Structure 1
Amino acid sequence: MQRLAAVPGYKPLLAARIVSALMVWLDATVIFSLLAFHWGADATAAGVAASLFVLPVLVGGPFFGWLADRRNPVAMLFASYSARGITSLLLLIAPDLNVFVLLVMLKALANASALPPEQVMVRSMLGHAQLAANAGLMTAADQITKVCAPLIAAGATSLYGPMSGLWLSAGLSLLAIGCLVPLRDRAGPVAAQGTSARSALQLAPLMALLRGSHAVRVSFGCVFMLTATFGLYDPLLALFIKSQGLPVSTFGMLMSGTAAGAVCGALAFPRLYRWYGIRLAPPGLAVVGLTVLLPGVLAGSGSGMPEMLWLGLWGVNGCAYCLACLSQLVAIQQQCPRHCLGSVSATARSVQLAALVLAPLLGGVLGRKIGIPLVFALSGGLAIAGGWFWARCAQRGHAARQAEQSASPEQGGP
């Protein structure tokens, strides 16, 4: 297998992707810090801003995926990074909180426009055997930037003031554009000639892939359940930690532990995927469920967990979550036809984000009715049950493929 670094154009694309990921996490850190400390936003305004940071990905993602299948993805990336830089500058001069929140939505929309053309570019450059290594490398880089971005934002704020992070984000957009210059003459649109525009925002391409690919069906089901589970328990995590008498610093430590676990999972993923293939996703779902079930059961029975055990569990949680999500990413990249890869990947993400929008509402209601520990226990138990179900499905599919392969030589014999 050819090394990724030796693939023409891969290093500039990887560099642009790393800068893009740093911009995303830097934006999230700076924007919500400014809402609290510069604009004095209340909980309602902060909640609206958080929703507007996710909503453009949910709504606009499929359109950008459809566009990436029909336009030059490099040109789309140029436009995306330019829009991200411009919105950072506009946030600097926002006259009031309402305009600032509206610009946050435009910033999120610009951020959402980058992922589909990146997926199309990766598929155009790499062979099937290289996709798992690429997914692990890019995810490790993304998680590292997730750890570094808050530190960079904090340093810039202490040295140059609260608005300096937005100047830095605008500068990073120029750096990302510079990384794309070597790619300007590469991939053109890959959609088949005469493709109808009617399928732009429809679920049909994704549903067709789910029906036709066992690997995508298993991984998508696992990640959908994983996203719903995450939505149920994660918004309640800080309250749960507080109720257990742990210090406020524990929450930040858990976030760092999750990112560190995800980096470990991303680095281990290429080898594990070569060994287990799509059978890697269901155990990832089940292990995440176990890490959520255990603290819920212990708290419900009146027992607490030491801080270090929390940290260890959330490191395992991040690793398992990463392995399941990367399994879906690679399955879609390998199994989806090139002419609709952007549409399918973006639509799959939007469907799963819908669960992430609805599940916290259910989790909040359940938390008030039955208590937060039982919400953790319930969501963890559902994830474990889902992992068992999809593991059975994955095993049946693997056994069927082995039976077909063993039957093929016999059918070809005399």
Structure 2
Amino acid sequence: MRSYLSVWRLPSAPVLLVAGFAGRLPSAMVPLALLLMVQQRTGSYAVAGLAAATYGLAMAGMAPVLGRLADRRTPRPVLLAQAAGYPLLLALLVAAVLGGAPTAVVLAASAAAGAATPLVSGVVRALWSRVDPEVRGTAFALDATATELVFVAGPTLVAALTVLAGPAWALGVSGVLAVAGALGVATSAAMRRWVPVPDGPRTSPFATVLTPGLPRVLLSGAALMLGFGALEVAVPAFAEAAGAPGASGLLLALWALGSVAGGLWFGARVVSVSLPRQYRWLLLGVTIGLAPLTAASSPWVLGALLFLGGTAIAPTLTVQNSLVGSIAPAHATTEAFTWLSTMATGASAVGAALGGALIEGPAGVTGSLLLAVAGAAVAVLVTLVPGRRPTRGRAPEPVAA
């Protein structure tokens, strides 16, 4: 607990934690609320799924571009511009759907809103990478734990607002939260002390993502998230096959809560093992935790196994973030973290699609669960592939968050 207090006492830590949580909630709320709103208006899950996927892909594709701009000019003007533009584009998206606009218009509005999503997550992680190394690991642990809570609170809030007022209201609340989070981070004391590091030589638009050591972290993270995407569609299918479709939300919440518990425990520990070794062993722990899911016989058993298996997730993400922060060029930390988010978003979508196909085929739910285990196992194997030793340019001076 003392280690968490040391982070909380940093000047801007409460703002970064609270505003970061609020600003990340839309990432778990908008795709689901958009899916529900489009389906209600069109009666088509295909169109609804396409709109949600378009939003997510646009968000993932634009993030590294804006991340690079944020590193060059400081993230503040980027966040302020997004805080002004995002709610307007989200309102246009709601108007297009409720107004019965053609599918092409809805998709275009979804892409525009997704591309304008505030870079709260990447900027907050970049700020944490600049704090004193003695508390940096704990800060990343709190950040990973808060991210897990986002995916518990976000869908729950969407469900409640949809029942009480409708999915359009859930999108409206998402816009308010995004603006609050972006403004909170943009006006924090840590942001005011951000000094851009002179840009290094760039031979291609992918210079940052090709930094020695970073491709292995990104590819292993993508493999892991592909498995998680498969698991996220396998759990509702398992619950429906067991005759308890309403239990899917509870099961996924147990998985996230297990991760929260593991993250809080791990963040209070002092680990002397190197970050790459920690990352490899934690990925192995995730793989071992996922393996028993294929033998679950009931939703109750699955819930217990999800909670236990989830305890390794937040620690893994904590070390993953620490690795990215230590490997990324000093002039491109925000961009590096946005690449991590982009890879995770894309891989999760692919995993969900593959998992759904397996569930509909002869392999069934077990096939999707096996894909989840395979994704985590591939992530471990990626970390074993030899590569160039990570190097880093002049690091930014540590600042109190």
- Given the two structures, how large is their TM-score scaled by the length of structure 1? 0.78
2:192 to 151, 169, 186: 186
Answering whether residue 340 of structure 2 is matched by residue 336 of structure 1, we say no
Residue in structure 2 matched with residue 22 of structure 1 by the alignment: 25
Counterpart check, 1:324 vs 2:316:
yes
Q: Tell me the equivalent position of 2:286.
A: 288
1:237 is displaced (CA, Å) by: 3.5
What is the rounded CA distance, in whole Å, between the counterparts of 1:282 and 1:134 in structure 2? 21
Counterpart residue number, 1:403: none
Aligned CA distance change for structure 1 residues 93 and 383 (closer, same or farther; 3 Å)? closer
Where structure 2 has 5 or more consecutive residues not aligned to the other structure, the ranges are: 390-401
- Cα 1:379/1:177, change in 2 over 3 Å: closer
Please, which of 108, 125, 129 is the counterpart of residue 102 of structure 1? 108
State the match for 2:224 in structure 1: 226
CA distance in 1, matches of 2:95, 2:286: 42
* Alpha carbons 1:261, 1:315 under 8 Å: kept: yes
| Aligned 8 A contact 2:289 2:310 in 1 | no
Over 6 Å off, 4+ runs:
390-394
Deviation at 1:43, TM superposition (A): 2.1
Aligned to 2:398: none
CA distance in 1, matches of 2:119, 2:253: 27
Amino acid in structure 2 at the alignment position of 1:265: G
In the other structure, the counterpart of 2:394 is none
Contact 1:91 1:166 in 2 (8 A): no
- Picking from 260, 264, 278, the partner of 2:257 is 260
Q: Does residue 129 of structure 2 align to residue 123 of structure 1? A: yes
Q: Give the residue type in structure 2 aligned to 1:152.
A: L
Equivalent residue, structure 2, for 1:375: 367
Paired residue type of 1:85: P
**Hey, what does 1:412 align to over in structure 2?**
none
Residues 307 and 262 of structure 1: CA distance in aligned 2, closer, same or farther (over 3 Å): same
- Whether the 8 Å CA contact 1:25–1:150 is kept in 2: the answer is yes
Higher normalized helix content (fraction of residues)? 1
2: CA distance between counterparts of 1:388 and 1:189? 36
Listed as ranges, the gaps of 5+ residues in structure 1 are 211-215, 299-303, 398-414
- Report the CA distance between 1:217 and its aligned residue: 6.7
Report if the CA contact (8 A) 1:61-1:347 is conserved. Answer: yes
Change (3 A) 1:368 1:10: closer
Cα offset, 1:112, TM superposition: 5.7
Q: How does 1:63-142 map to 2 (within 5 A)?
A: 63-94=65-96, 95-97=99-101, 98=103, 99-111=105-117, 113-124=119-130, 126-142=131-147
Q: 1:192 to 1:146 in 2, by over 3 A?
A: same
Equivalent residue for 2:170, pick from 165, 174, 180: 165
What do the CA deviations read for 1:336-373 (whole angstroms, capped 9, x no partner)? Answer: 23212122222343344443344445445555554125
Counterpart-to-counterpart distance in 1, 2:378 and 2:203: 35
- Once the two structures are TM-superposed, the CA of residue 308 in structure 1 deviates from its matched residue by 1.6
Give percent identity, aligned residues only. Answer: 18
Aligned with 1:346 (options 338, 342, 357): 338
Contact residue 225 and residue 386 of structure 1 kept, 8 A: yes
Q: Counterpart in 2 of 1:408?
A: none
Contact 1:70–1:189, Cα closer than 8 Å, also in 2 = no
Structure 1 residues 251 and 364, CA gap change in structure 2 (3 angstroms) = closer
- TM-score w.r.t. length of structure 2: 0.80
The structure with the largest alpha-carbon Rg is 1
The one-letter code sitting in structure 2 at the alignment partner of 1:96 is: G
Partner Cα separation in structure 1 for residue 94 and residue 383 of structure 2: 49
Are 1:48 and 2:50 matched, yes or no? yes
Q: CA deviation at 1:116?
A: 3.1
* 1:31/1:392 CA distance change after superposition, 3 Å: closer
Aligned-partner Cα distance in 1 for 2:165–2:150: 21
Give the secondary structure class of the aligned counterpart of 2:198.
Answer: coil
Instruction: State whether residues 226 and 383 of structure 1, in contact with CA within 8 Å, keep that contact through their aligned partners in structure 2.
Output: yes
**1:333 Cα deviation after fit:** 1.0
When the two structures are aligned, how many residues end up with a matched partner? 378
Per-residue CA shift, 1:208-254, capped at 9, x if unaligned? 331xxxxx6765454233123234444344334433x2410221111
Q: Say what the alpha-carbon RMSD is for the aligned residues.
A: 3.3
SS state of the match for residue 145, structure 2?
Answer: helix
